Amino acid sequence: MSQHYKDIAAIAQKRREDALPKEYLLPAESLQKPPRNLTTVPKSSGHFTHEELTIMETSAEDILQKIRKRIWTSVDVTQVFCKAAVVAQQLTNCVTEILFPEALARAKFLDEHLEKAGDVIGPLHGLPISLKDCFITPPHPSSIGMARFANEPTKPEDQTILVDVLAQLGAVFYVKTSVPVAMMMMETISNVWGETNGAYHSGTTCGGSSGGEGVLLAMRGSPLGVGTDIGGSIRIPSAFNYLYGLKPTFGRFPTYGGKSGIPGQDFIYAINGPMSRSLESVKLYCKAVLSPEIAPWTLDPKCIPLPWQGNVIDPPGRKLRFGIISDNDGDISVHPPIVRGLTITKKALEAAGHEVFEWAPTDHREIMRELNGAFHSLGGSAIVELTRPHEEPIFPSMKGYEEAFDRGEGGTLGPTRLREMIVKRNALQKAYLDRWTATKTDGKGVMDGIILAASPWTAPRLGLSQTVFNVSYTGVFNLLDYPVCTFPVTFADKNIDHKRTGWTPLNEKDAILQADYDPEFYDGTPVVLQCVGRRMEDEKVLEMTGIIADALKAHSK
């Protein structure tokens, strides 16, 4: 008989607890009545020195510069982020595996190399980088939120290619972050590790599936993290934690060797990408990983041999054309703070001379129907066959996987059905591309990008997405395989963002989701949107995101 999931979880959680240095822990009194906005705790607690707080607030690019100039050492920086990660864990439950001993040994080696050689080993020399749990860092387990893998050591030959690449670039790995079961929920909760709550509002979710990564970054426990995305798993946590998060085009970044919740399926591509509070840190990561010197396409057969190009908008400084989805995606309406965020962004771009016009969410409902159906058909057996032997209960938002498995679809998806799915997917991709291309009319260039919400919520209350599940604002672009980057706009304000009145819901689910909106409860939660480009326009997406950020900054003055 297989070991019960509760016994497995107890072992995993004790391993984590034992690995947390006692001197890094917040004192008990600081945990008794924490504020709703947990991001204020590091500073208000008095637990960190002024220098430690300075390091925690410094962007990845500036940390690297200070290490290179020997103003800071990698050991000092790594110790600070180890301590910050422990505090974030105490407040949000965002960490799975602790890699502190090897991180400090690695940082010491890098400092000694810099001292002796007088130069860095790579562009990420000495930088602590946090990793989503699915990246394999032997011998540490990669549970992906499942009891089956929670205490299973990993082998050196199984190390994820991206981990190899980042190590060559000089990165320091110090912590792995929490994910939901099989990484297939929009909030981060599992039977192994429990629930991870939000940073800006402890009563809200941090998002999923890169939720632990998102909240660790928001808590200043990491300067730069790496997540994965198959339906919004980078962008939803980035939105709920006020971050920039890039979902690249599949093939731009190496993915080989990452642990998957639905291994072997290629119908919807899972990709990895950077997450940070700084857009420049995201750009720095892309340039480093996709450098000709590292050439990850020689390590991963699915990685396209295309180095990062930097700024690509031609001519430089030209005015852009954006489509905007400003209220609903044809199925679900966004909460009032998101509407305001979209309005602010539109006005800021227009004030800067850019064109912004309404973009209809044509085919979005159909795309999501195909996406969700594929997940359940392809993932039923992959997930449930691993949870049932350990008596792991299935969370409500994942019941579709269990139902597909119980119907006998798990493991029996025939070639005819798969061909039909692929034909439908390809037709939807072609139709969307044609509609985008058709925006080049009347002497105007083609639409440069799309702006829309990352989620209908700023960050939903804990547990809500188990019954009101929605990833339609992100999942569409996974099926289309378009690059997308999130960008922060503002925060919900109870004095401005009132409930909708005189409004007719699009359907029952839309009514339930909108009824959940409470200006008092959601006050102070992040308002973050998405910028979308066409396939392989990853550099342009980050450049457009920077233009949007600059316009927002100028408009707020």
pLDDT tens-digit map of 52-102 = 999 999 999 999 999 999 999 999 999 999 999 999 999 999 999 999 999
For residue 165, the model assigns a pLDDT of: 98
pLDDT surpasses 80 at 452: yes
pLDDT grade, residue 410 (50/70/90)?
low
Q: What is the dihedral of CA 532, 459, 404, 262, to 10 degrees?
A: 60
pLDDT of amino acid 557? 76
Q: What is the mean pLDDT of residues 503-513?
A: 97
Which residues are annotated as catalytic?
132, 209, 233
Tell me the backbone φ, ψ of residue 97, rounded to 5 degrees: -110, 140
Question: Which pLDDT does position 310 carry in this prediction?
Answer: 85
Q: What is the pLDDT of residue 414?
A: 82
Q: Select from 205, 241, 202 the least CA-distant residue to 225.
A: 241
Copy the structure tokens of residue 361.
């969410």
Strands (E), 230-270: 244-247
| Least trusted range by pLDDT, from 176-190, 215-229, 412-426 | 412-426
The pLDDT, as a whole number, for residue 411 is 55
Q: Which of 190, 133, 158, 149 is CA-nearest to residue 2?
A: 149
Greatest alpha-carbon pair distance for the chain in Å reads 70
Question: What's the whole-number mean pLDDT along residues 37-65?
Answer: 98
Q: What percent of the chain has pLDDT above 90?
A: 96
Q: For CA atoms 195, 200, 204, 205, give the dihedral sign.
A: negative
Of the pLDDT bands very low, low, confident and very high (cuts 50, 70, 90), residue 409 is low
- Contacts of 266 by beta carbon, 8 Å cutoff, 6+ apart: none
Contact between 525 and 459 under an 8 Å Cβ cutoff? The reply is: yes
Q: Which residue has the tokens 């989503």?
A: 132
CA distance 498 to 520: 9
142-166: average pLDDT? 98
State the Cα–Cα distance between residues 340 and 358, nearest whole angstrom. 15
> pLDDT tier at 252 (50, 70, 90 boundaries)?
very high
Please compute the mean of the pLDDT values over residues 497-508 and round it to a whole number.
96
Please give the pLDDT value at position 443: 87
Tokens of 417: 């059905």
Secondary structure of residue 435 in the 3-state scheme? helix
- 3-state DSSP assignment of residue 423: helix
Alpha-carbon span 134 to 255, nearest angstrom = 11
CA distance 40 to 28: 17
pLDDT at 365: 97
The predicted pLDDT at position 297 comes to 98
pLDDT of residue 551: 98
- Exposure string (b/e) for 444-461, b if CB count within 10 Å is 16 or more? eeebbbbbbbbbbbbbbb
Name the 3-class secondary structure at 110.
Answer: helix
Average pLDDT over residues 175-190: 98
CA angle at 105 for the pair 100 and 111, rounded to the nearest 5°: 125
Report phi then psi at 144, rounded to 5: 40, 40
| Cis amide leading into 209 (omega within 30) | yes
Which pLDDT tens digit goes with each residue over 309-353?
Answer: 988 999 999 999 999 999 999 999 999 999 999 999 999 999 999
Strand, helix or coil for residue 128: strand
CB 447 within 8 A of CB 321: yes
Residue 518 has pLDDT above 90, yes or no: yes
How far apart are alpha carbons 258 and 183 in whole angstroms? 12
**Residue 19's pLDDT is what?**
98
d(CA 240, CA 115): 41
| Model pLDDT, residue 412 | 62
Q: Which of 182, 232, 244 is nearest to 207 (CA)?
A: 232
Specify the 3-state DSSP secondary structure of 417.
helix
Cβ atoms within 10 A of the Cβ of 282, count? 26
For residue 281, the Cα-to-chain-centroid distance in whole angstroms is 15
Judged against a pLDDT cut of 60, whether residue 402 lies above it is answered with yes
- Spatial distance between the Cα atoms of 402 and 410, rounded to a whole number of angstroms: 9
Stretch 340-369: mean pLDDT: 98
The pLDDT of residue 408? 82
How does residue 442 score in pLDDT terms, banded at 50, 70 and 90?
confident
DSSP secondary structure string for all residues of 12-41: HHHHHHHHS-GGGSPPHHHHHS--SSGGGH
Read off the pLDDT of each residue in 248-276 and give the average, rounded to a whole number: 97
Average pLDDT, the chain: 97
Q: What is the pLDDT of residue 45?
A: 96
Could you tell me if 528 and 242 are in contact, meaning their C-beta atoms sit under 8 angstroms apart? yes
